[in-house]
Amino acid sequence: MHNENKQYNLGKDWNLNGVIDTHIHGGPDIKPRLVDDEEIAIAAREAGMEAILIKNNDVSTARSTYFVNKHVSGIKIFGGIALNWSVGGINPKAVKATLELGGKEVWMPTFDAQNHANFFGLTGYPVVGSNEKKPGLAIKQRDIPKEPGISILKNNELIGEVKEIVNMVREYNAIIGTGHLSKKEIGILIQYIKGIGGVKVFITHPLYMVPNLDPHFVKELVGDGVYAELCAINFFPTKGDKTIEEEVKMIKTVGPENCIISSDSGSRDVPISPKALRIFAEWLFKEGISRDELYLMMAKNPKKVLDL
C-alpha cells in the first residue's frame, strides 16, 4: 500500500531530535527543486535534526554547504559529489577537490550510469518512470546532448580510477554511495571495498527502480561499514513503485543495525525532508518497525558513519 496522506501515530513525544538525513536535494539545481539548500537546513534545524547531507547530481556540494553552515547555525550541513558526466564521470581529481573541501560522500554515477541508461532508455534526468518497462509513467529529459552511460567495470573488473577513488575516500574517512549502479557493479565494488577494509558505504536506495535489489542480495553485502540506505521518496507514489511492506521486508531481512533511513527529498511533488521522514517513519511504525529501530536507522547509524 502506498502513502495515502494518512499517518499512524508514533506518539506526541516522538520527534526528529537528533535525526540525520543523509540524502537531500536542494536548489539551485538544473532540475526544479522544492526549496534551496539554506531553506532545507532551516527546516531541518527547526525540526530538531542534527545534520543533513545535501546531494546534487551535476555539481559538487562541498563548497556550497560551507556557506549554508555559515548562515544556518544549530545544525551541521555536509556535501559531496556524484560522478556523472558534468564532473567528468569517474574523475579522481574532482573527488580529491571535493574531499579537500570537506565533502562527506562520493556517489558513483547516478543519472549517467550505464545501468540507469539501460533501464530508462537514455542518460539524464527522468522525472518519473521509465520507457516501455513502465508504460504508465512518463520521461522528461534535460535538453542537452545525451552521452553514453558510465560503467565502473571493464572486463568484469573495477577500472583503475574507481579503485583510486575508493582509496581516496578511505583516506579522507568519507562515504561511498553506490548511486544508480547495477547489481553486478555494486557486488563487485563492495567486494573490493571489503577486501581493502576501512571504507564506509551506503547502498543507495536499493529498492528504487535503479538498482532494484533483492533484500537477500543486500543482506550479503551489508556489515563492516556497509549500510542499506532506504529513502522515503521510493514510497511516495509519484516517485517510486514500492510498497511499505517491501520497505519493511528490506529492513527485517538486512537488520535495522545495517540500515540508514533518509528522505531523498527535494522534488516539488514530495514533502520537505522533515515531513517526508516523519510520514515514512509513521508508516514503518504502523507495519511493525519499533520506535527504537527507527531511531537507530535515522539517528544512531548515520551519526556513527559521520563521526558526530
Residue 120 is predicted with a pLDDT of: 80
Residue 250 is predicted with a pLDDT of: 98
> Does 4 map to a domain?
no
> Does 5 map to a domain?
no
Check: CB of residue 59 under 8 Å from CB of residue 87.
Answer: yes
Taking the alpha carbons at both ends of the chain, their separation in whole angstroms is 35
Residue 121 is predicted with a pLDDT of: 79
> Does 133 map to a domain?
yes
Domain total in the chain: 1
Report the mean per-residue pLDDT for the chain: 90
pLDDT band at residue 259 using 50, 70 and 90 as cut-offs: very high
Q: What range does the domain containing 189 cover?
A: 20-305
| Whether pLDDT at 212 is above 90 | yes
Residue 305 is predicted with a pLDDT of: 99
Query: Given the DSSP bridges, would you call strands 259-262 and 226-231 parallel, antiparallel or unpaired?
Result: parallel
Residue 125 is predicted with a pLDDT of: 67
Average pLDDT on 89-118 reads 97
For the four alpha carbons of 4, 10, 13 and 14, in that order, the dihedral sign comes to negative
| Whether pLDDT at 108 is above 50 | yes
Percent of the chain with pLDDT over 90: 80
Average pLDDT on 302-307 reads 98
Residue 238 is predicted with a pLDDT of: 72
Tell me: the pLDDT tens digits for 125-155? 654 444 444 444 334 444 444 678 999 999 9
> Does 261 map to a domain?
yes
Tell me: the pLDDT tens digits for 162-208? 999 999 999 999 999 999 999 999 999 999 999 999 999 999 999 99
> Does 7 map to a domain?
no
Average pLDDT on 38-47 reads 98
Average pLDDT on 97-123 reads 94
| Whether pLDDT at 4 is above 80 | no
- Identify the CATH number of the domain in which residue 169 sits: 3.20.20.140
> Where is pLDDT greater, at 13 or 160?
160
Average pLDDT on 119-124 reads 80
Average pLDDT on 26-43 reads 94
> Does 145 map to a domain?
yes
> Does 35 map to a domain?
yes
> Does 1 map to a domain?
no
Average pLDDT on 62-88 reads 97
> Where is pLDDT greater, at 236 or 299?
299
